[in-house]
C-alpha cells in the first residue's frame, strides 16, 4: 500500500474534501443569499416605483379640472420618478404648440407660450422640429447625447443658446388615438436619462393624457356653457337697445369685456359704394364718429370687398379665421391711429352677419394671443354673431320703418299743402316753406321752364325762417346763364354744386342741390333747388346725391320726394290750365263750325270765317288765299280788316307758288314733304304791296292743309303798335290752327262737291251709254234653223268694246259676229258702235265673209281717225247646205267641240281691222254636223284672272265646255260662266267678256242635239 492511501492520510483527505464541500456550500449559499437580497432590493424599488406611479396616478385622477394646475401637477409627479429640473408640458391646438408648464434648471419660465409648428421659428430652440415629429408619429423619443446622435435624429433641432441640452426625453400625451400634447425632460449631462426613465415617464404620460383629455373636455364644456351664458346675457342687453348705433356699441363693448378680445368691430355694407364700413368698434378712433385723419380719410374705416379676412368673409359668406400674425389676411390696423392708441393683433376671426340670406355685415374679433380662436371660440362667437345679426336686422327694420314713417308723414304734409292751393305760385310757395322744415335744408326755390321763351323764370324762393323773396318772381334765366342749371336742363338728372349764382340774394349758400321737375312723359317743367348748408359735403355732378351717411340719404330721399310731388302738382296745374284752354278753344271752334255748317256756298263760309277770327282771337286783319290746282296760282278770297283800297287790290290778286314760298321761306322745307303738317304757322316776309293791304309789316301765315295737300292759306296781320308784345299764346295759336283746318275742310269739301257733281253727271251719262250699247246687242238666243244659240256679254266698265251680232241674210242664211275692240271704257264703246254699224252695212251686201271683213277694214281705216283697232270673227250658217263659212280678222280662233269631247280650233287667221288700210284674207268653209258645237269667245274669257293672277285659260275653258257637251247651248254657256266665277272669286273683272255657243241640231222636226 502506498503511503498516499495510508490511514492517516485518508482521514486528512476526507477532511479536506469535507472542508471543500463546506466551502462550496457556503459560497453557493452566499451567492443565493446575495441574489435573493438583490432581487428583494429590486422588488422593493419596483414596489416603491409602482407606489410612486400609483400615487402620481391617484394625484392626477384627484386633480382639479384646471389645465394649468394639471400640467404643473404632471411635472411635480414626474419629479418623483425622473429628474424634472428642466421639464415641459405642452398641448396641441391644431398646428399650434401651447406650452402650459416650463422650467429650466428649476427656474419657472413664463407661460403660456404658443408657437406655430408650421413656421418652425427660432423661438422653439428648446426642441426645434422634434415636437412636431413626436406629435405626428405619436412615438416617444429618448436622446442620449444630442452631440453624438444629431445625424441620426428624426428631426434636426436648432439651438441658439450657449448651453444647449445634451440629453432629453420626449413623450406624447395620447388619448383616443390623438396626440393631445407632449411631456419633455432635458438635461445638460449626456446619457442622463435611461430606458427605465423612459418607461416610468411613459406610464405617467399615459395617465396624464387621460387626465388632460378629461380636463380639456371639462374645460371646453364649462367654457362653452359660460360663454353661451354670456352670449345670452349680451343678447338680452342688445335686444333691449332700440337705437341701432347704441345697439352696436353695446355689442362691441360687451364682447370685448366678456371674452377679453380686443379690438372688436362690427362692419356694415355700404349699398352706395359697395364697401365694407365700420359701424361700431371697441377702438373709438376707428368708429363711425371718428374724426378724419390721414389714415382714415373721411371718418370711419372702409375696406373693399375681398381685402383681409373681413373682405373674404363678405365675399364667401363664411367664417374666416387667421390664428397667426404670419397670415397675410390678418387685418393690421395701425395707420391713422392717434398717438397713444395701439394694439397688436396676433389672431383674428371674421363672422358674416346673415339673416334670411341677407348679408348685413361682419363681426370681426381680434386677439393679441396667437391661436386664440379654436373650435370652441368659433362656436361661441358664431352664436353671438347670430344674435347680433338678428338684433342688427331688427334695428335696421325699425330704422327703416321710422324713416319710412317720417317720409310718409312728409309726403302727406306736402300733399296737404298742395291740395290747399289751386293757384300754381301759391302752391309752390307753400311747398317751399315746408321743405326746410321736413328735409332740414336752408332754403328751397323753384325755377319754371317757359317753352315759348325757351328760358327759366323764378316762381318761389323761401329760406329756413319761412321768409319769401318777393323779387325772385322777376328773375329770368336763359340757357347759358347758369352752368349747373344748363346741366340739369340737358341731362335731366339732379346734381350738386358749390358755385352759387350772384342773383341769389341771401347769405351765401354752402351747397346747392338742383333737381329736375319732370312730367309723366319726361317733359321738362322746371327745376327745384335747395341749400344743403356748409356742413354737407358738396361733390360736383349727378353722383352727389349718393352719400354714405344715413341722415344724408334720408334727406336726399325727402328732397327727391318733394321734387317729385312738386312736379306732379305742376303737371296737374298745367293740365287744368290746358283743359280750360282746350274748353275755350273747343267753344271757339264750335262757334265757327256752327256758322260754317249752316252755309253751303264757299265764299259765304270763308267770309264768315274771316269775320269770326278777329272776334275770337283778337287779330287786326285777315284774308284767305285759295289754291287753284289747275292754274297753279293762289286766288284771293274774302278778307276782313282791310282798307277799301286794299280790298280792291286783294280781289285782283293772283300769287304763284314761287312768290308765295318766297313770302314763307319756312314753308319751303315742309312743302317738299309728301304730306304737309296739319297744324303749323309761319311768319311772313311781308312785301310792300301786302303791307299796304294789311296796314302792317307783321303777318302770320296759316296754311290751309287737307289730306296732306295745300289748298290755300290764311293770312293774319298784326298792327305796328302790337310789335314787341308777347307772342301769341298756345291757346290763340290752337284756335287759329283749328279755324284754318275748318277753312281747309270747307275748300276741300267745295272741291269734292264739284267733283262729286261732275262724277254723278258722268255716271248718269255712262248709265245712258250702257243702256244704248246694250240695245245694240241682239237677242242672245235667235231662232236659227238647225242650230241652238246662247250668248253671254259683260263689260268690265259701264260700257265696253266687246260686241256680238246675229244677221238674218238672204236664203235663210244667218251671219254670226263676235268682235273685241283693243281698249275698254267709253273709247272702246264708241269704236265698237262704229265698227258694228259698218260691218252690218257691208254684210247685207256681200255673201263672202272675207270680202265683208276686207271692205269693213277699208271703211274703218278711212273714216276712223284713231289708233284703235278691232278683232272680228264673222261666219255665215247656211241651213240648206249645212255648211258654216267664216273669216277671222285677228280674233281668238273659235273652238269646235265634237260629240266625243274632242276640240279643234277653226283654222284661218287674218289681220285685225283698222290696223292697215288694206288687208287680205280668205274665207274657210266646213260642214257642221249634228251634235257639233262652235264656241266663240273674246280674250276676256280665257284671260280672266284670280287673286293669284292666274288666268282661266283655254284648258279650263275646254274642260268646262266638255263637261256640258251633251246639254243645250244655254246650259253650256251657264256652266262655262260658273266655272269662270269660281276661278276669279272676288277678283274684280279686268276685261270685257263675250261668249257665243252655236250648237248644231238636226233639221228634222223634233230632233234634239
Range from 386-400, 828-842, 922-936 carrying the lowest mean pLDDT = 386-400
| Rounded CA separation 925/885 (Å) | 4
Q: What pLDDT sits at residue 922? A: 92
pLDDT computed for residue 860 by the predictor:
85
- Listed in sequence order, the DSSP H helices in 63-92 are 67-78
Q: Give me the pLDDT at residue 730, please.
A: 67
What gap in Å lies between CA 736 and CA 613, rounded to an integer?
7
Residue 552 CB burial class (10 angstroms; 0-12, 13-18, ≥19): middle
DSSP per-residue codes, 175-244: ETTEEEEEEEEEESSTT-S-HHHHHHHHHHHHHHHHHHHHHHHHHHHHHHHHHHHHHHHHHHHHHH--SH
**Is pLDDT above 70 for 153?**
yes
Q: How confident is the model at residue 721 (pLDDT cuts 50, 70, 90)?
A: very low
The dihedral formed by the CA atoms of 485, 489, 495 and 498, expressed in degrees to the nearest 10:
-10
With vertex at residue 582, the alpha carbon angle to CA 580 and CA 584, rounded to the nearest 5 degrees, is 70
Q: What is the mean pLDDT of the chain?
A: 79
368 pLDDT above the threshold of 70 = yes
Q: What's phi and psi for 904, nearest 5 deg?
A: -145, 120
pLDDT at 873: 95
pLDDT for 378 beyond 80: yes
Higher pLDDT among residues 440 and 913, named by residue? 913
pLDDT at residue 162 in the model: 65
Quickly state the pLDDT bin for 3 (edges 50, 70, 90): low
**CA distance linking residue 650 with residue 639, whole number of Å:** 8
Question: Cα–Cα distance between 376 and 380 in angstroms, integer?
Answer: 6
CA–CA dist 715, 684 (Å, integer): 9
* Phi-psi domain of 176 (left: phi exceeds 0; alpha: psi -120 through 50; beta: other): left
Q: What is the DSSP letter of 4?
A: G
Mean pLDDT value of segment 25-46: 70
Q: Do domains 52-221 and 777-1000 have the same CATH topology?
A: no
Q: Output the pLDDT for position 58.
A: 53
Domain spanning 599-755, CATH class: alpha beta
Architecture of domain 52-221: 2-Layer Sandwich (3.30)
What pLDDT digit, counting tens, does each position of 870-886 carry? 899 999 999 999 999 99
| Tens digits of residue pLDDT in 97-108 | 888 898 988 889
Decide if pLDDT at 544 tops 50.
Answer: no
Pick from 755, 754, 734, 680: nearest CA to 710: 680
Q: Higher pLDDT residue, 239 or 129?
A: 129
Residue 725 confidence class, pLDDT cut points 50, 70, 90 = very low
With beta carbons less than 8 A apart as the criterion, state whether 754 and 601 touch: no
In 3D, which of 177, 102, 182, 186 has the Cα closest to residue 135?
182
pLDDT: is 665 or 309 the higher one?
309
* Report for 336-340, 638-642, 656-660, 846-850: range of highest mean pLDDT: 846-850
Give the pLDDT of residue 797: 72
* DSSP secondary structure, 570-610, as one string: HHHHHHHHHHHHHHHHHHHHHHHHHHHHT---HHHHHHHHH
Q: Say yes or no: domain 424-539+549-578 is CATH 3.30.450.40.
A: yes
Are the C-beta atoms of residues 799 and 829 closer than 8 Å to each other?
A: yes
pLDDT at 295: 44
1 pLDDT above the threshold of 50: no
Under CATH, what is the fold of the domain 777-1000? Phosphatase 2c; domain 1 (3.60.40)
pLDDT on residue 766: 62
Share of the chain above pLDDT 90, in %: 12
pLDDT at 122: 43
Out of 3.30.450.40, 1.10.10.10, 3.30.2420.10, 3.40.50.300, the CATH code matching 243-291+298-330+343-402 is 3.30.450.40
Q: pLDDT value at position 334?
A: 47
Residue 754 CB-density burial (10 A; 0-12 exposed, 13-18 middle, 19+ buried): exposed
Q: Tell me the C-alpha distance between 931 and 1000, whole Å.
A: 6
Contact, 291 vs 318, CB < 8 A?
no
Highest average pLDDT, of 529-543, 599-613, 711-725, 802-816, comes from 802-816
pLDDT digits (tens, 9 = 90+) for 632-691: 888 878 888 777 777 777 777 778 878 777 777 766 665 555 555 555 677 778 787 777
Residue 772: pLDDT over 70 = no
Instruction: Determine how many CB atoms are found less than 10 A away from the CB of residue 359.
Output: 16
249-258, 491-500, 995-1004, range with greatest mean pLDDT: 491-500
pLDDT beyond 60 at 752? yes
Provide the pLDDT for residue 43. Answer: 58
Q: What tens digit of pLDDT does each residue of 269-299 get?
A: 877 677 888 888 888 777 776 655 444 445 5
Q: Where are the domains of the chain?
A: 52-221, 243-291+298-330+343-402, 424-539+549-578, 599-755, 777-1000
Amino acid at each position: 500500500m502506498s503511503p498516499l492511501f495510508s490511514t492517516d492520510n485518508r482521514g486528512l483527505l476526507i477532511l479536506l474534501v469535507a472542508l471543500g464541500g463546506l466551502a462550496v456550500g457556503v459560497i453557493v449559499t452566499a451567492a443565493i443569499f446575495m441574489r435573493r437580497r438583490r432581487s428583494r432590493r429590486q422588488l422593493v424599488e419596483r414596489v416603491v416605483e409602482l407606489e410612486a406611479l400609483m400615487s402620481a396616478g391617484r394625484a392626477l385622477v384627484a386633480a382639479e379640472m384646471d389645465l394649468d394646475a394639471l400640467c404643473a401637477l404632471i411635472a411635480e409627479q414626474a419629479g418623483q420618478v425622473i429628474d424634472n429640473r428642466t421639464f415641459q408640458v405642452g398641448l396641441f391646438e391644431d398646428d399650434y404648440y401651447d406650452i402650459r408648464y416650463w422650467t429650466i434648471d428649476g427656474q419657472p419660465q413664463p407661460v403660456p407660450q404658443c408657437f406655430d409648428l408650421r413656421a418652425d421659428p427660432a423661438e422653439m430652440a428648446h426642441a426645434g422640429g422634434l415636437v412636431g415629429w413626436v406629435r405626428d408619429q405619436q412615438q416617444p423619443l429618448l436622446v442620449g447625447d444630442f452631440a453624438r446622435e444629431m445625424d441620426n435624429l428624426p428631426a434636426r433641432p436648432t439651438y441658439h443658446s450657449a448651453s444647449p441640452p445634451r440629453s432629453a426625453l420626449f413623450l406624447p400625451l395620447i388619448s383616443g388615438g390623438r396626440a393631445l400634447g407632449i411631456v419633455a425632460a432635458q438635461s445638460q449631462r449626456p446619457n442622463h436619462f435611461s430606458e427605465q426613465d423612459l418607461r416610468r415617464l411613459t406610464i405617467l404620460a399615459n395617465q396624464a393624457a387621460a387626465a388632460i383629455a378629461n380636463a380639456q373636455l371639462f374645460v371646453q364644456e364649462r367654457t362653452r356653457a359660460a360663454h353661451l351664458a354670456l352670449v345670452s346675457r349680451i343678447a338680452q342687453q342688445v335686444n333691449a337697445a332700440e337705437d341701432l348705433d347704441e345697439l352696436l356699441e353695446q355689442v362691441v363693448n360687451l364682447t370685448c369685456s366678456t371674452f377679453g378680445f380686443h379690438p372688436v368691430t362690427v362692419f356694415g355694407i355700404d349699398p352706395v359704394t359697395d364697401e365694407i364700413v365700420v359701424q361700431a368698434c371697441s377702438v373709438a378712433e376707428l368708429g363711425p364718429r371718428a374724426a378724419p385723419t390721414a389714415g382714415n380719410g373721411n371718418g370711419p374705416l372702409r375696406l373693399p370687398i375681398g381685402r383681409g379676412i373681413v373682405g373674404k368673409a363678405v365675399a364667401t359668406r363664411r367664417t374666416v379665421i387667421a390664428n397667426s400674425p404670419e397670415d397675410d389676411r390678418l387685418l393690421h390696423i395701425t395707420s391713422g391711429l392717434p398717438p397713444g392708441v395701439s394694439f397688436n393683433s396676433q389672431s383674428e376671426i371674421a363672422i358674416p352677419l346673415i339673416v334670411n340670406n341677407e348679408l348685413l355685415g361682419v363681426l370681426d374679433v381680434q386677439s393679441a394671443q396667437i391661436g386664440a380662436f379654436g373650435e370652441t371660440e368659433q362656436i361661441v362667437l358664431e352664436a353671438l354673431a347670430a344674435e347680433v345679426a338678428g338684433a342688427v336686422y331688427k334695428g335696421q327694420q325699425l330704422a327703416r320703418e321710422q324713416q319710412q314713417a317720417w317720409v310718409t308723414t312728409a309726403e302727406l304734409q306736402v300733399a296737404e299743402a298742395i291740395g290747399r292751393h289751386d293757384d300754381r305760385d301759391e302752391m309752390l310757395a307753400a311747398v317751399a316753406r315746408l321743405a326746410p322744415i321736413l328735409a332740414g335744408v336752408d332754403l328751397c326755390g323753384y325755377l319754371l321752364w317757359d317753352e315759348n321763351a325757351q328760358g327759366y323764370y323764378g316762381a318761389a324762393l323761401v329760406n329756413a325762417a319761412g321768409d319769401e323773396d318777393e323779387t325772385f318772381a322777376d328773375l329770368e334765366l336763359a340757357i347759358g346763364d347758369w352752368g349747373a342749371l344748363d346741366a340739369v336742363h340737358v341731362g335731366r338728372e339732379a346734381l350738386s354744386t358749390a358755385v352759387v349764382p350772384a342773383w341769389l340774394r341771401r347769405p351765401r349758400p354752402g351747397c346747392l342741390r338742383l333737381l329736375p321737375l319732370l312730367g309723366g312723359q319726361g317733359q321738362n317743367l322746371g327745376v327745384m333747388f335747395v341749400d344743403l348748408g356748409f356742413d354737407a359735403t358738396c361733390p360736383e355732378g349727378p353722383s352727389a346725391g349718393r352719400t354714405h351717411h344715413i341722415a344724408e340719404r334720408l334727406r336726399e330721399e325727402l328732397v327727391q320726394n318733394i321734387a317729385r310731388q312738386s312736379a306732379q302738382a305742376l303737371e296737374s296745374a298745367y293740365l287744368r290750365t290746358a283743359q280750360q284752354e282746350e274748353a275755350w278753344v273747343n267753344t271757339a271752334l264750335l262757334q265757327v263750325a256752327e256758322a260754317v255748317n249752316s252755309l253751303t256756298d264757299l265764299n259765304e263760309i270763308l267770309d264768315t270765317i274771316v269775320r269770326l277770327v278777329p272776334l275770337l282771337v283778337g287779330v287786326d286783319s285777315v284774308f284767305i288765299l285759295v289754291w287753284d290746282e289747275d292754274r297753279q296760282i293762289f286766288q284771293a278770297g274774302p278778307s276782313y280788316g282791310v282798307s277799301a283800297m286794299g280790298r280792291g287790290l286783294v280781289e285782283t290778286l293772283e300769287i304763284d307758288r314761287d312768290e308765295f314760298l318766297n313770302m314763307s321761306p319756312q314753308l319751303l322745307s315742309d312743302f317738299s314733304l309728301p304730306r304737309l303738317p296739319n297744324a303749323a304757322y309761319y311768319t311772313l316776309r311781308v312785301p310792300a304791296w301786302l303791307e299796304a293791304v294789311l296796314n302792317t309789316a307783321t303777318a302770320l301765315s296759316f296754311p290751309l292743309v287737307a289730306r296732306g295737300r295745300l289748298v290755300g292759306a290764311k293770312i293774319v296781320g298784326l298792327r305796328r303798335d302790337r310789335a314787341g308784345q308777347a307772342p301769341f299764346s298756345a291757346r290763340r295759336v290752337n284756335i287759329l290752327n283749328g279755324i284754318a283746318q275748318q277753312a281747309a275742310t270747307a275748300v276741300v269739301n267745295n272741291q269734292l262737291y264739284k267733283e262729286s257733281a261732275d262724277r254723278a253727271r258722268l255716271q248718269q251719262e255712262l248709265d245712258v251709254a250702257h243702256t244704248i250699247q246694250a240695245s245694240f246687242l241682239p237677242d242672245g238666243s235667235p231662232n236659227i234653223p238647225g242650230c241652238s244659240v246662247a250668248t253671254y256679254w259683260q263689260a268690265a266698265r259701264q260700257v265696253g268694246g266687246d260686241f256680238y251680232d246675229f244677221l238674218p241674210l238672204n236664203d235663210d242664211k244667218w251671219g254670226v259676229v263676235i268682235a273685241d275692240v283693243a281698249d275698254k271704257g267709253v273709247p272702246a264703246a264708241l269704236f265698237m258702235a262704229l265698227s258694228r254699224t259698218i260691218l252690218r252695212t257691208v254684210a247685207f251686201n256681200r255673201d263672202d265673209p272675207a270680202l265683208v271683213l276686207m271692205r269693213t277694214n277699208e271703211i274703218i281705216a278711212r273714216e276712223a281717225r284713231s289708233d284703235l283697232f278691232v278683232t272680228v270673227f264673222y261666219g255665215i250658217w247656211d241651213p240648206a247646205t249645212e255648211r258654216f263659212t267664216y273669216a277671222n280678222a285677228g280674233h281668238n280662233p273659235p273652238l269646235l267641240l265634237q260629240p266625243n269631247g274632242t276640240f279643234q280650233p277653226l283654222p284661218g287667221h287674218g289681220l285685225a281691222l283698222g290696223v292697215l288700210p288694206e288687208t287680205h284674207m280668205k274665207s274657210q268653209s266646213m260642214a257642221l254636223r249634228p251634235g257639233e258645237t262652235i264656241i266663240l269667245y273674246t280674250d276676256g274669257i280665257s284671260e280672266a284672272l284670280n287673286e293669284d293672277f292666274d288666268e282661266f285659260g283655254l284648258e279650263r275653258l275646254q274642260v268646262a265646255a266638255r263637261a256640258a257637251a251633251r246639254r243645250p247651248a244655254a246650259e253650256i254657256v251657264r256652266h262655262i260662266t260658273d266655272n269662270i266665277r269660281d276661278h276669279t272669286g272676288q277678283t274684280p273683272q279686268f276685261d270685257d267678256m263675250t261668249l257665243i255657243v252655236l250648237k248644231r241640231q238636226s233639221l228634222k222636226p223634233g230632233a234634239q242635239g
